[in-house]
Amino acid sequence: MTSLLEMRGIVRCFGPLRANDGIDLTVEAGHILGLLGENGSGKSTLMKVLFGMLPPDAGTIAFRGRPLAGHHPREAMEAGIAMIHQHFMLVEAMTVTENVMLGWPDAGRILKRGEVAERVRETSRRFGLDLDPHVPIAGLSLGRRQRVEILKAILRKADLLILDEPTSNLAPPEVADLLSILRRLKSEGKGIVFISHKLPEVLEVCDDVVVLRAGRVTGRAPVAGASRAQLAEMMVGRDITAPHALTPREPGPSRVVARELSAAGLSPLSFEIRGGEILGVAGVDGNGQLELVDAIAGLNRARGGTLVLDGNDITHASVAARVAAGMAYMPADRGHRALVRDMTVAENLMLRDSRREPYARGWLLDAAGRTRSARRLMADYDIRAAGPGAITARLSGGNQQKVVIARELDRSPAVLVAHQAAWGLDPGATRFVLDRVIGLRDAGAAVLYVSSELEEVLAISDRIAVMSGGAFVAIVRRADADLRQIGLWMAGRAA
Amino acid sequence: MTIDIIAAAIRIATPLLFAALGGLLSERSGVFAVGLEGMMLAGAFAAIIGASATGSALGGIALAIVGGAIIATAVAVIAVRYRADNMVTGLAANILALGLTSYLLRVIAGGGAPASIHLDPLASWPIPYLSDIPTIGPLLFDQPPLTYLAVIGCVLMSLFLRRTQAGLTLTATGENPEAVFASGSSPMRVRMIAIITGGAIAGLGGAVLSLQQVGTFTDGMTGGRGYLALASLIVGRWTPWGAAIACLAFGAAEALELRMQTFGVPVSSYIVQMVPYLIALAVLAGIGRSSRMPASIGQPLPR
């Protein structure tokens, strides 16, 4: 019997970089294959080659025994391959039905709206997707949007589904729903490639796992016999699963005190963060996290209540005054809000302090001081770039975030507000970021750590606040945290 | 008097509607239609040349389509293929069309002076029976041919956008080109075809001005109507019927202005001429998140 998909010796280069360096991959019908690897390990490139978005430099692809070469996404789809991208390929202004019809030959050149809507309804029922055909995408949660993509794949009679980091934006209950949908698809004989760098999910849902590192396959194993530590080591070449060393310490006095603090998109919030303490904020993205961090950083104007930092009322203070009082901020959108992508590493490192030494002398900028300082920070924070003059946009995501960390942490802040600080980073870089945040806590700073990755929040927080609908549903100590309960709170269900 | 104003409004709205429909294709695909003025002007020029060379209005109409499409092709290649800024490209196209038509008009004459071509404006085609209805018959059903075509164009455009796969793909390209790429079409191809087809339709608007209404071409005869079409497209919220209503409203405003001048109403005509643009600005200012403005308009395609 031939395999559903056989990729042999795939090579794809970008300039001198061999993103895929002779990769073999086989997927069987009715199997879920986990494709593990860090960012930049070649997972996405391999899948883009398969889906016809990038031509390979060498290698062959056979799908259901038939060769697939020189193809475009259209041919891949016609052959029965569906790709569910990490960023959904949906048109927000259009309804579920319209998105299903887009580019689908069965919808007809003259659109058969009613007929397609009926098929959407029926398929949604059969697979437990719970989708209304006439709702615009803009009104759907990310979990629902993902199901629209899965629905599109099912209706297009795809035999192979590729899911790229499918759980990265989902709340735990949504992840559970997704995994059960995948199992149902598997039982109907579909082949699935599950791309992820999250080990627990891969272990839970996959039958086999293939690990990529630096463009090569470094391991393949049935999930049944694999251990988490083994897989992690194959991924990064070292064991990074050891838990974070969050040494219990008696927190100091309160450094941040919010009393009934309210702002656009925020219900009145009250909380305290003490020196040497990390308050983690868990929650599904879009439940007020951005409004919260912006309110503390001074970008979202307070409408009521008070915010006190080390005894000073900063409720209505300007951003500059907050920075002067010792606040550091790592926004979620590092490409736009934390960094000026087209400027150099050295320039980004001086952004907040450009009026002071060593960056400035009087009215003039000090180029030599800037370069010296940048070299030191690049060494201290392990920023891998060609030099201080390298353009920031050319750096990997992990190194960009290290630039932000270096800038924000080197000032030894009193308070760090970090939002999705490890978002999109691979395990190695995540580890670096979290270790630095913990280091800051151990040095006595107060840290507000906001992330939609529950595991991350649990790993490094002294206390955990769960956010839903712009309010804190609950604040619990880490020792008292009940994962299932937190999941329910995140999904917006009261205790 | 009211009848007169309605008749004048329809007359003024017709070229605007063609241009607005052409611009609609471009903007729905995600490219600002700033070059409408140039496409109309090229169409107006080509219509007169075509009609006088072939001796037939059909020849003029055919060449107007080609003329508008040529300017649009330049816009499509530069703004889509080479990802240049939409505004700059559109304005450049307008200046190019103005210079090119004025130059060619002199080349044709052979001397330094512009050629003077005068044709009879297109006669009206009364629709049997309907045009006999008192009052509204002569008003609505005794129009020159391109006016009927504009209405038909509006109907077809509306059906195209709502009922066809191609229309859905067009709208999706203006909203999220990556989704179109992932669905197996080429957003670049969609945008190119949309702009060039739109230019051809805008060229027809130029033909209405030169061939249907006055029978001659003069330098820069579109006189800002391309921008007015763009404004009606925005006020009409990127829908064919919305644009048609906006064109009629602008036409009525202009007709009213002419009457006011005739009757010596002491309001400067310049103030009245500003009205459509002020409305367009107000609508643009009022566009928030809930707007129907194509989400990816003005953004070059990802590489």
Q: What is the pLDDT of residues A99-120, one digit of tens each?
A: 999 999 999 999 999 999 999 9
Token pair for residue A441? 């806590």
Lowest mean pLDDT among B68-72, B243-247, B298-302: B298-302
User: What residue of A is the nearest CA neighbor of B294?
Assistant: A93
Rounded CA-CA distance A388/A82 in Å is 42
How many angstroms from the chain centroid is the CA of residue A295? 23
Q: Are A428 and A236 in contact (CB under 8 A)?
A: yes
| DSSP letters spanning A117-185 | HHHHHHHHHHTT----TTSBGGGS-HHHHHHHHHHHHHHTT-SEEEEESTTTT--HHHHHHHHHHHHHH
CA-based nearest distance A265→chain B, Å: 16
Contact flag A103-B163 (C-beta cutoff 8 Å) = no
Nearest to B295 among A73, A74, A93 (CB): A93
Q: What single string gives the DSSP state of each residue in A261-280?
A: EEETTEEEEEEEEETTEEEE
Q: Are strands A463-468 and A277-282 parallel, antiparallel or unpaired?
A: parallel
Give the ipTM of the model, two decimals please: 0.89
DSSP 3-state assignment of A249? coil
Q: Where are the alpha helices (DSSP H) in A335-409?
A: 345-350, 367-380, 397-409
The pLDDT confidence band at residue B110, using thresholds 50, 70 and 90, is confident
Q: What is the pLDDT of residues A466-481, one digit of tens each?
A: 998 889 999 999 888 8
Q: For position B143, which CATH number holds?
A: 1.10.3470
What amino acid occupies position A447? V
Residue B125's nearest CA partner among B104, B147, B143 is B143
pLDDT band at A494 (very low <50, low <70, confident <90, very high): very low
Interface mutation vs chain B, best among A102, A109, A148, A164, most B CBs within 10 Å: A102
B164 CB neighbours in chain A (<8 A) are 109-111
How far apart, in whole angstroms, are the C-alpha atoms of residue B249 and residue B8?
A: 11
Q: How far apart are CA A458 and CA A462, in angstroms?
A: 8
- A→B interface, C-beta within 8 Å: 72-74, 77, 83, 85, 87, 89-94, 98-99, 101-104, 107-111
Within-domain flag for B300: no
**Burial, A485: exposed, middle or buried (Cβ in 10 Å; 0-12, 13-18, 19+)?**
middle
Domain containing B86 equals: 2-117+128-290
Q: What does R_g of chain A's alpha carbons equal in angstroms?
A: 24
Chain A neighbors of B29, CB-CB under 8 A: none
How far is residue A1 CA from its own chain's centroid?
38
pLDDT value of position A237: 65
Report the relative pairing of strands A471-477 and A302-309 from DSSP bridges.
Answer: unpaired
Cβ of B178 and A89 within 8 Å? yes
**What residues of chain A lie within 8 A of the CB of B165, using their CB?**
101, 103, 107-111
- Please state the pTM of the whole predicted model: 0.76
Secondary structure (3-state) at A194: strand
Beta strands A302-309 and B125-126: pairing type? Answer: unpaired
Tokens 């437990």 found at: A128
DSSP 8-state assignment for residue B132: G
Helix, strand, coil percent values for chain B (each to nearest 5): 70, 0, 25
CA torsion sign, B84 to B231 to B156 to A111? positive
Size of interface A-B (CB pairs under 8 A): 63
Residue A109 DSSP class: T
Q: What type of residue is A95?
A: T
Quote the minimal CA–CA distance from A379 to chain B in Å: 34
Residue A485, SS3 per DSSP = helix
From the list B163, B184, B292, the residue facing A103 with the nearest CB is B184
A147 or B283: whose pLDDT is higher? A147
Do the domain assignments include residue B298?
no
Burial classification of residue A451, based on how many CB atoms lie within 10 Å of its CB (0-12 exposed, 13-18 middle, 19 or more buried): buried
Reading the block at residue B163, the tokens are 């009922």
pLDDT tens per residue, range A56-69: 999 999 999 899 88
* Pairwise CB contact (< 8 Å): A101 & B185: no
Residue A60 DSSP label: E
Q: How many domains does chain B have?
A: 1
Nearest-CA neighbor of A60 among A2, A11, A13, A27? Answer: A11
Examine residue B47 and state whether it is found in any structural domain, yes or no.
yes
Domain membership of residue B180 (yes or no) is yes
DSSP class of residue B214 equals: I
The Cα of B158 is separated from the nearest Cα of chain A by a number of Å equal to 13
**B178 neighbourhood in chain A, CB within 8 Å:** 87, 89
Cα B123 to Cα A186: distance, rounded to the nearest angstrom: 69
Task: Summarize pLDDT for A337-355 with one digit per residue, the tens.
Answer: 899 988 999 999 998 888 8
d(CA A385, CA A382): 9
Query: Would the CA dihedral through A245, A248, A249, A254 be positive or negative?
Result: positive
Amino acid identity of A338? A
**pLDDT at res. B303:** 73
Query: How is the beta sheet containing A58-63 ordered, strand by strand?
Result: A17-27, A5-14, A58-63, A66-67
- The residue among B148, B143, B129 whose CA lies nearest residue B7 is B143
> Angle B187-207/B165-175 helices, nearest 10 degrees?
100
The C-alpha atoms of residue B121 and residue B211 are separated, in whole angstroms, by 6
More confident residue, A111 or B111: A111
Among A69-73, A278-282, A441-445, B192-196, name the most confident range.
Answer: B192-196
Give residue-wise pLDDT tens across range B48-63.
999 999 999 999 999 9
Residues in chain B with CB shorter than 8 Å from the CB of A91 are: 171-172, 175-176, 179
Q: Is the peptide bond before A413 cis (omega within 30 degrees of 0)?
A: no
Report CA torsion sign: B22, B26, B32, B35. negative
Shortest distance, CA B186 to any CA of chain A (angstroms):
10
- Cβ-based neighbours of B108, under 8 Å, separated by 6 or more: B49, B115
